[in-house]
Amino acid sequence: MRTRFLGLAVLFTATSIACSPADDSAPAAASSDGERPRITNQDQLPRHTYEVEGSASEILTSDAAFAPLAAAVRSDIETLLAEYEIEDRATLEGLEGTLLNLDMLEGDYASAQRRIERIRAMQEKPSSRLTTGLVGTAAIAAAREPESAGLEVRQAAFEEAYRASVADLPWDVVQDDIEQTKGNYEIYSKNLFLGLAESQIQPAIEAQGSVSGDIAQQLIGMRAFTQVFLPYKNQVVEVLGEYVEANDEEKPDIWTPRSVDLSGEGEEDLTPVVVAIWDSGTDAPIFGERMFRNPAEVVNGEDDDGNGFVDDVHGIAWDLESYRTTGDLLPLDAETQARVPELKANLKGILDLQANVQSPEASALRQRMASMEQDEVGPFLEDLSLYGGYAHGTHVAGIVARDNPAVRLMTVRMTFDHRLIPDPPTIEEARRSAEAAQATVDYMKAHGVRVANMSWGGGQRGIEAALEVNGIGETAEERQKLAREIFAIGRDGLKAAIESAPEILFVPAAGNADEDAEFAEDMPASFELPNVLTAAAVDRAGDETGFTSFGPSVDVHANGFEVESYIPGGETMPLSGTSMSAPNVVNLAAKLLALEPTLTTSELRALILDGADRMEGDRRVLLNPKRSVELLRERRAI
C-alpha cells in the first residue's frame, strides 16, 4: 500500500508547504457581495508549474538560476493570498513562510519582521507561539551590521540578539522544541541541503525540466537556510546549549501515575484479546506467548488452512505492490543485515541529538554529518528510512503489549518504500491496495481481532510528489488529477474495509505534519467513523508536541514523545511521533477488553473518551488509563 510510517518525527528538509487533498470540488465561487472565494481544503489550492534553468544545486547557489523562480513563486503566492480566503492555519503559515524566506534573501528585513509577527500570531501551540521566528529575528538584527564589518561582527550581533530572546523563555513550555532545534542545527550543513536537493529534487527536474509549486517552495526554503541562517549555526547551538544546561530539568511525568498494569491480575480475571499491529512487521520472539497464533498453520511454505495466506502463523504480510507475501519482519539481505548495528546507531544518534542526550552514538553521528559529502546524503537518508521502517512495527507492538499478559499481537505487515525515488504510483496498484485493505480486515474479523493499531498514513500530496519525481504528467495540474484518482481508490477502499468491521476499534495516528489532518484528508487519520479513534501526540507533561497534527478528526491525545519500546533483536529505544501515541491508546483498549471482553466498540470508545481529561481552554483530550479502568469497574458494579 502507498503509505508512510509515522514513527520518526525528525526534520531533514527546510521549511516547505504541503498541498494535500480534501474533496474533489473547486474553490467556492465568489459571493455576490464581493467576498473572496474560500478554500476549505488543500485539494482546492491552485497548482503551479515552473520552468527551471540549471540543476537543483544551481538553484540553491546561483543567483541567475534562482531569480526567475523566486519572482514567479512570489507573484503566485501573493495572488493566492489576495484573491482567496484560506481557512487553514498551517497552509497560511507555509505560504507566509515562503514569502518570509524570499524577504530574507532579498534583504527586505522590515517586511520579514512583519511576516515573523504574523506567523507567530498564527501559532496555536504554546511553545510555537514563543519560539517561532527567534532565529529570523536575530538574523535581521545581525543584518543591520554593515556588510563591510565582516561575518564575525554579524555573528556576534546575531548571538547577542538570539541570547536575549532565548534567555527568558519558560523552560517548562519550550523544552522539547528547544532541544530538537539544537539537535537539528548540530547536523545541518550546506552539503546536507545540497545533497537533499540533488537526491530528492533533481530527478524531477531531469524528468520534466520544471518543478511544481511544492518543490519550488522547498528549494526556496533550502536556499534561505543555507544562505541566511546556516552562517549562524554555531551561535544557535552555543546559545541553546547554554540555555539547556542552565535549565536542565525534566518535565513532570503525568503518565506513570495514570498507568494501569495488569501483570498482577489473576489469569481467571483476564480474557485474551487479539490486537492487530497493522504496520511494518513484528519481531515475534520478543513477545513469546503474547503473539497471536493461528493453530491451523505451520511455517512450511504452504497454505495449510486454505485461507489464501501462506505461513500465516502470527498474521499476514503484503509487499510493496500490495501482493500477498510472508514473514513477520521485512526480510533484509545479508549485506543489509550485517549493517544493522551501524543503521541502528545512526538512528539512535539523531534521536539522542534531538533529545540533548550526550551519547557515543550522538557524538559519532555529529562527526559523520559534519564531514558528509553531497553525494552521500541520499544513501544515508535511505538507510535511515529503511531501518526506521524495519524497527517501527516492533516498537509499536511493544507499546501495545506493555503490562498486559492477556494481549495477543497479530502481525499485519505492510511494506513501506524507503527509497527517495519510489516506484511510480498507478491506478492498478491502488486497486490492489484497496483489495488488500478489505482482505486484511476480513482476516482480522475471521480471527477475532477487537482492536487494530494504524500508525501510518497516506495522502494525495505524497502521490503527486511520487508522480513528479518519476516524470509523470506534464504539469502540476495534470498530476493533481491523476493523483486524485489514485488516492480516491485507496481511500475509499480503506474506509469501506473499516466500515465493514464495526466490531473492531481502529486507532490511527494523527500524523507528524503539524497540520489539520481533516483539511489535508490524510488517511486514515481523517476518517470520522464510529469505530475509529484517532490519536495525536503530547509529551511526558501532556503538552502538545511541535510535530503533532490536529483537527476535528482527532479524538484523543497520548504520549508520543521519546517513548521507550522494543526494536528488532530485543533492545529498547525511545522514538517520537504520533505512531507512539496510537499504540498507547490501543494499549488501554486492549486492557479494558481483557477485563471485560463483552464490551462493544461503542462502549470501549466511550470508556476511553469518558475517562480522558478534557483540558479547559484548548483542544487536548488527555488519555487517562487509570480513570477509564475505574469507570469500567464502576459500570460493571451497577
Whether the CB-CB separation of 280 and 414 falls below 8 Å is answered with yes
7 has a pLDDT exceeding 70: no
492 has a pLDDT exceeding 90: yes
**486 to each of 49, 433, 434, 491, 494, how far by Cα in Å?**
21, 10, 10, 9, 13
DSSP per-residue string spanning 117-134? HHHHHH--SHHHHHHTTH
With pLDDT > 90 as the criterion, what percentage of the chain qualifies? 86
User: Binning pLDDT at 50, 70 and 90, where does residue 40 land?
Assistant: confident
Phi, psi of 509 (to 5 degrees): -85, 140
User: Binning pLDDT at 50, 70 and 90, where does residue 370 land?
Assistant: confident
Q: What would the 3-class secondary structure string for 302-363 be?
A: CCCCCCCCCCCCCEEEECCCCCEECCCECCCCHHHHHCHHHHHHHHHHHHHHHCCCCCHHHH
**589 to each of 40, 209, 315, how far by Cα in Å?**
34, 51, 20
Grid coordinates of 279: 504496520
pLDDT digits (tens, 9 = 90+) for 302-343: 999 999 999 999 999 999 999 999 999 999 999 999 999 999
DSSP per-residue string spanning 44-69? GSPP-EEE--S-HHHHHH-HHHHHHH
User: Binning pLDDT at 50, 70 and 90, where does residue 9 land?
Assistant: very low
pLDDT digits (tens, 9 = 90+) for 403-449: 999 999 999 999 999 999 999 999 999 999 999 999 999 999 999 99
- Lookup result for grid cell 492487530: 276
∠ Cα 132 137 140 (to 5°): 150
Strands (E), 322-464: 324-325, 407-413, 449-454, 456-457
Element (H, E) at 613: strand 613-614
Whether the CB-CB separation of 534 and 510 falls below 8 Å is answered with yes
599: phi > 0 → left, psi -120 to 50 → alpha, else beta; which? Answer: beta
pLDDT digits (tens, 9 = 90+) for 553-597: 999 999 999 999 999 999 999 999 999 999 999 999 999 999 999
The per-residue pLDDT for 248 is: 85
Whether the CB-CB separation of 91 and 20 falls below 8 Å is answered with no
N-terminal to C-terminal alpha carbon distance within the chain:
46
19 has a pLDDT exceeding 60: no
The per-residue pLDDT for 35 is: 80
CA 53 from centroid of its chain's CA atoms: 32
Phi, psi of 516 (to 5 degrees): -75, 110
User: Binning pLDDT at 50, 70 and 90, where does residue 547 land?
Assistant: very high
- Lookup result for grid cell 507475501: 325
User: Binning pLDDT at 50, 70 and 90, where does residue 31 land?
Assistant: very low
The per-residue pLDDT for 349 is: 93
The per-residue pLDDT for 29 is: 38
**364 to each of 183, 343, 354, 355, 370, how far by Cα in Å?**
13, 12, 14, 15, 10
pTM: 0.92
* Pairing verdict, β 324-325 and 210-212: unpaired
pLDDT digits (tens, 9 = 90+) for 88-138: 999 999 999 999 999 999 999 999 999 999 999 999 999 999 999 999 999
pLDDT digits (tens, 9 = 90+) for 385-408: 999 999 999 999 999 999 999 999
The per-residue pLDDT for 3 is: 57
The per-residue pLDDT for 337 is: 94
Is the N-terminal amide bond of 27 cis, ω within 30° of 0? Answer: no
Average pLDDT, the chain: 92
**463 to each of 10, 120, 321, 427, how far by Cα in Å?**
21, 31, 14, 11
Which amino acid would we find at residue 507?
V
Domains of the chain: 4-246 (no CATH), 267-337+365-637 (3.40.50.200)
- Lookup result for grid cell 524495519: 390
Task: Express the helix, strand and coil content of the chain in percent, nearest 5 each.
Answer: 55, 10, 35
User: Binning pLDDT at 50, 70 and 90, where does residue 24 land?
Assistant: very low
496 has a pLDDT exceeding 70: yes
The per-residue pLDDT for 268 is: 74
Element (H, E) at 443: helix 427-446
User: Binning pLDDT at 50, 70 and 90, where does residue 638 land?
Assistant: low
The per-residue pLDDT for 390 is: 96
**For the stretch 400-417, what's the b/e string if a residue is b when 16 or more beta carbons lie within 10 angstroms of its beta carbon?**
bbbebbbbbbbbbbbbbb
Q: How far apart are CA 595 and CA 437, in angstroms?
A: 30
The per-residue pLDDT for 265 is: 78
